Amino acid sequence: MEYLNGAARVVVKIGSSLLVDDKTGSLRSDWLQSLSEDISDMQSKGLEVVIVSSGSIALGRKVLSWSEKSLSLEQSQASAAVGQIQLAQAYQEALAQYGIRTAQILVTLEDSKDRRRYLNSQATVETLLEMGVVPIVNENDTVATDEIKYGDNDRLAAQVSVTIGADLLILLSDVDGFYSSNPMTDANANHYTKIEKITPEIEAMAEDTKSKVSKGGMKTKLLAAKIATAAGCDMIIAKGTGSNPISSMGNINKKTLFKAQIKDPQTARKKWISTMKPVGELVIDEGAVNALFSGKSLLPAGVLIVRKDFERGDAVSILNTKGEVLGLGLCAYSSDEASSIMGHQTSEIEEILGYAGRGVIVHRDNIAF
């Protein structure tokens, strides 16, 4: 699977024009079946896969018999509400034939801007991937308005990739990569196999080309590439209209690879955390210090002192008993909750707080030393 660039965690974005027939508005079941075969093959080789899928509005508008090209906000939200059920069921049935379980996750732009929601999303996806489940992510169009929308699933897929530390983002659409100009109108357009860095010259080449059911043009794909590659995630734009669209990238279809600007997605994430201003402090014992530097998370049992007031998702300084700052982390609990469970075993959290909280106070992926 050399065409997957040695990735271990992959986000696959599915455009509406691939999943939904442009003329009839019906689901392309045979195509979805072939995609499921590809995903099964990826999982069998140890890869973790997340799908970001368009198509809910396109499917819903057919059920509601809305044939007009432009829908009002209320009509779009109603279409999404109907289509999300069909979309989730279609993926569930297609992947179940290969013994793969699925989960639906609906998000808005606000979810990635708010640190508490960000942590919730990250923890949910991580847990699902550990269980071998394929999360199906979509924008929550039923509640999102323009102010809180990504607006297209290319950028949503890029943000999901950043959130979960993916190694590779694949944008499957009706184009086979990046060109120097629009190949539909310019016969002399040059195809790029690899782009090492997105320069102003590259950005100037992008033109918006949209199908009847797809929102994202080349400009949005380029923006997605900037988001993903800055966070250490490679990105591929590939044509996905044919059967087995992922495995076809190997030797059949052309594609464009955008190279990550740093090697490790976790490095970018920790760099982002390190720039935050700490709101509180956690003083930890020597055993917890050793655990952290051996790559483990910070458990409640290792916390000795909680200082200052902070909320869940806030950045906190982590100190040893000498007062030396070891690093910065995003805390999974508020200061009041952390004070209540510090020094206790994870198994005691539910009894103390009255609910089953996170097993760690700061996850290892959310610590920057």
For residues 138 and 11, what is the distance between their CA atoms, to the nearest angstrom?
A: 12
For position 8, what pLDDT does the model report? Answer: 92
For position 253, what pLDDT does the model report? Answer: 67
For residues 54 and 100, what is the distance between their CA atoms, to the nearest angstrom?
A: 20
| Mean local confidence (pLDDT), 245-261 | 84
For position 263, what pLDDT does the model report? Answer: 74
For position 73, what pLDDT does the model report? Answer: 80
* Statement: residue 31 has pLDDT above 50: yes
* Statement: residue 293 has pLDDT above 90: yes
For position 3, what pLDDT does the model report? Answer: 67
For position 117, what pLDDT does the model report? Answer: 78
pLDDT band of residue 336 (cuts 50, 70, 90) is very high
Provide the token pair at 301. Answer: 């049992």
* Statement: residue 113 has pLDDT above 70: no
pLDDT band of residue 347 (cuts 50, 70, 90) is very high
* Statement: residue 17 has pLDDT above 60: yes
State the pTM of this model.
0.77
| Mean local confidence (pLDDT), 270-277 | 76
User: What is the tally of helices (H) and strands (E) in the chain?
Assistant: 13, 15
| Mean local confidence (pLDDT), 43-63 | 92
For position 283, what pLDDT does the model report? Answer: 98
Q: How many CB atoms lie within 10 A of CB 281?
A: 17
| Mean local confidence (pLDDT), 245-251 | 83
Q: Higher-confidence residue: 114 or 66?
A: 66
| Mean local confidence (pLDDT), 96-108 | 93
For position 143, what pLDDT does the model report? Answer: 64
* Statement: residue 318 has pLDDT above 80: yes
For position 213, what pLDDT does the model report? Answer: 41
Please choose, from the candidates 368, 176, 148, the residue with its C-alpha nearest in 3D space to the C-alpha of residue 274. Answer: 368
| Mean local confidence (pLDDT), 319-324 | 95
Lowest mean pLDDT among 23-32, 262-271, 290-299: 262-271
| Mean local confidence (pLDDT), 246-250 | 85
Which residues, other chains included, contact 13 with Cβ-Cβ below 8 Å and sequence gap of 6+?
51, 52, 53, 54, 153, 154, 156, 157, 169, 170, 171, 172
For position 1, what pLDDT does the model report? Answer: 63
* Statement: residue 296 has pLDDT above 80: yes
| Mean local confidence (pLDDT), 139-155 | 65
Q: Higher-confidence residue: 100 or 217?
A: 100
* Statement: residue 141 has pLDDT above 80: no
pLDDT band of residue 70 (cuts 50, 70, 90) is confident
Average pLDDT, the chain: 87
* Statement: residue 152 has pLDDT above 50: yes
For position 212, what pLDDT does the model report? Answer: 42
155-171, pLDDT tens digit by residue?
Answer: 889 989 988 889 999 99
Which residues, other chains included, contact 262 with Cβ-Cβ below 8 Å and sequence gap of 6+?
230, 231, 232, 268
For position 155, what pLDDT does the model report? Answer: 87
| Mean local confidence (pLDDT), 293-320 | 94
Tokens 């923890």 belong to which residue? Answer: 123
**What b/e readout covers 225-256, taking b as 16+ CB neighbours within 10 angstroms?**
bbbbbbbbbbbbbbbbbeebbbbbbeeebebb
* Statement: residue 224 has pLDDT above 70: yes
Lowest mean pLDDT among 91-100, 150-159, 222-231, 323-332: 150-159
Q: Quick one: which H or E segment has residue 123?
A: helix 115-130
DSSP state of 250: T
